[in-house]
Amino acid sequence: MTETYIVDVDQHNVNDILQKSLETPVLLVFWATWSEPSKALVSVLIKIAGDYQGKFILAQVDSDAYPQIVQQLGVGSVPELKLVVQGQLAGGLAGEQTEAAVIQLLEPHVGVVDSTEQEDPFLGQIQRAISIGATDQAIAALESAITEQPKAMHYQALYADVLMDAQRSDDAEAVINNMGDDPLVPKAKARLFFIRLLEGAETAEVLQGKIESDGGGSESRYYLGAHLLILGQEETALNLLLSVMMNDRDYQEDGARIALLSAFDYLGKENPLTSKYRRKLFALLH
């Protein structure tokens, strides 16, 4: 997903997402493509996530694709919700739910959303289109939003994200360049850096296999680090890039250091991993 508070869960990032519940409540929704109640509930949840703007993380699990996660978390049917707060199960709901029921589950842990901060109607339309993979529809909605609100940089940043998802890197770069020095620009530029870095690269699974079989060289660790950062396994990614920098500064002409600096922009100053690994990088350089 393109918003940091709406994520897709797989076997690679499930533990990292649950770890984030120590700081931000995580609402897991277990759904299936064949289940119409699932699709209806996901649309409701995306709207609520947009209203709360990061006060909780909406984590979507395709139950058919990842049955091991379903079993691990004791899910009995779809759709089903599980709310995890500070690493502990804090509640749940089974079956199709109304918006009011979901909010009642969330409010003790995330508070009441301020109606003055709710998104305008465009964002719900855009997020629903993204959630079902309707990229053309999302792009059309974003272009309409930008036409009506040309100074709303969050739309520009989301537009660049969707263009990157659609493998339109050059168009995304043009959008980012038009954003000037807006605070959202560093993260957008950093994501574009990693998207382009991974063009033509081997998959994360292949690279992981190489590392598991023989320890992997700088190339495997460098590209796997890039993959995992985008996939949300942030600390593992940073450790891989740091290991390349420690052992092979000449690789890609100090490419691991450059990638780490881009990773810091991607994560943002408020992310505790940014300050932690900036210190590690400083110690390594000095």
Range of the domain at 123: 119-183
Whether 79 and 94 map to the same domain: the answer is yes
Which amino acid appears at position 43 of this protein?
S
User: Per the domain annotation, does 195 fall within a domain?
Assistant: no
Residue 255 belongs to what H/E stretch? helix 255-267
Give residue for tokens 């998207």: 195
CATH of residue 40: 3.40.30.10
Cβ neighbours around 215 below 10 Å, total: 9
CA distance 20 to 27: 11
User: Per the domain annotation, does 1 fall within a domain?
Assistant: no
Whether 240 and 216 map to the same domain: the answer is yes
Contact 247, 240 (CB under 8 A): no
3-state secondary structure labels for all residues of 167-226? CCHHHHHHHHHCCCCCCCHHHHHHHHHHHHHCCCCCCHHHHHHHHHHHCCCHHHHHHHHH
13: three-class secondary structure by DSSP? coil
Whole-model pTM: value is: 0.62
Q: Which residues pair with 27 in a beta bridge?
A: 58, 83
Whether 56 and 103 map to the same domain: the answer is yes
User: Per the domain annotation, does 208 fall within a domain?
Assistant: yes
Q: Which of 248, 173, 192 is nearest to 218 (CA)?
A: 248
Report the pLDDT value the prediction gives residue 123, as an integer from 0 to 100. Answer: 74
Report the pLDDT value the prediction gives residue 121, as an integer from 0 to 100. Answer: 62
Whether 93 and 143 map to the same domain: the answer is no
Number of domains in the chain: 3
User: Which of 57, 87, 114 is the last residue before a domain boundary?
Assistant: 114
Encode pLDDT of 165-197 as tens digits: 999 999 999 999 999 999 999 999 999 999 999
Contact 52, 110 (CB under 8 A): yes
Encode pLDDT of 97-142 as tens digits: 988 899 999 998 887 655 444 445 677 678 777 777 788 988 998 9
CATH of residue 219: 1.25.40.10
Whether 97 and 127 map to the same domain: the answer is no
Query: 93: which 2 tokens?
Result: 């709901």
Contact 142, 133 (CB under 8 A): no
Report the pLDDT value the prediction gives residue 286, as an integer from 0 to 100. Answer: 81
Task: For the chain, list residues with pLDDT below 50.
Answer: 1-2, 115-119
User: Per the domain annotation, does 238 fall within a domain?
Assistant: yes
CATH of residue 175: 1.25.40
